[in-house]
Amino acid sequence: MQPYKCFILDDYQSVAEKMADWSKLPQSISIHTLHSPLSSLDQQIEVLKDATILVVMRERTAIARQLLSQLPSLKLIVTSGMRNAAIDIAAATELGITVCGTESSSVPPAELAWGLLLALSRQICSESSALAANGPWQSTVGMTLQGKKLGIIGLGKTGKLIARYAQAFGMEVYAWSSNLTEAQAQQQGVTFVASKREILQLADVITLHLVSSPRSHGIISYSDLQQMKKTALLINTSRAELIAEGALVRALENGDIAAAAIDVFEQEPLAAGSVYRTTRNLLATPHLGYVSDTNYHTFFGQAIEDIQAWLNGEPLRVLG
């Protein structure tokens, strides 16, 4: 078999080669793992110019037509998950490049969203930071979740898990999205809300769980945030573009809502001086939703399966 170069991109934690048995691949395939982002198109082309296979982690690196057209040896892209808006799949198809995906569990992002809600409602991070800085002993009063109203915008796989967690905590659970029906909400034991305005106004906590699409971009505007209770909390672990750019920081600075927790950003990794690092009453995490042991074992284990299947002429989980 002819030698192939396989590049694993954006392995921030240096765990890709530990999470799966890459020795299952033929010795003719050399594995090259990159731990930092490739910061420009020129750098991407220079580093990846001899790549036959790319293994990409979610949407950390844009795989655009301009890049694909400059990689003459590239034949296969494997992405974690079955959806990746950062890959120009149409261009890949035109250039004869196969794009395959992997399975992905909704449990890790749901657990993170719930963890952020708990941390925010009880001010866990600020109280812990105060202790570490020899600050005051108790400086906040937390929110009890039992009996409070949770508004879920997007009752898909992750939203359904969140509904179950909230019900276990004794919360009243409401849901809305533009295509959600009352029957679908009732199947989950959730109260259907007919409009975005209504769910924003009634909820003590809003959590966003929509996929990225032209219809969902900017679905939460600054005026929408002003409709929420001033004591309300907002959680976004789905997509940064669901909230109009700048709207959340403005709402927090103006006291339109009490606090927010976000795991997704317009630009990732965040710049050192990003306002999201310093805004008061904002709990920010570095896009950890899908980052878990189970998901990583699945991602990299199935990446190997995808490569093996492609080598055998029978690609698995083909996208596009």
Query: Residues with catalytic annotation?
Result: 239, 268, 287
Report CA Rg, the chain: 22
The CB density around residue 54, as the number of other CB atoms within 10 Å, is 25
Name residues whose C-beta falls within 8 Å of residue 260's C-beta, 6 or more positions apart in sequence. 120, 233, 234, 235, 236, 248, 251, 252, 281, 282, 283
Per-residue tokens: 262: 């976000």
Minimal CA–CA distance to 165: which of 187, 146, 143?
146
Q: Are 99 and 89 in contact (CB under 8 A)?
A: yes
- CA gap 153, 256 in Å, rounded: 19
Query: Which segments within the chain are labelled E, that is strand?
Result: 4-8, 29-33, 53-56, 76-79, 98-100, 149-153, 172-176, 191-192, 205-208, 233-236, 259-262, 282-284
The tokens 């492609």 sit on which residue? Answer: 310
Minimal CA–CA distance to 72: which of 44, 50, 55, 56?
50
| DSSP designation for 15 | -
- The torsion angles phi and psi of 197, rounded to 5 degrees, stand at -55, -45
**Residue 282, strand partner residues:** 260
- CA gap 98, 76 in Å, rounded: 5
Q: Are 300 and 72 in contact (CB under 8 A)?
A: no
Q: How far is CA 267 from the centre of its chain?
A: 13
- CA gap 156, 264 in Å, rounded: 18
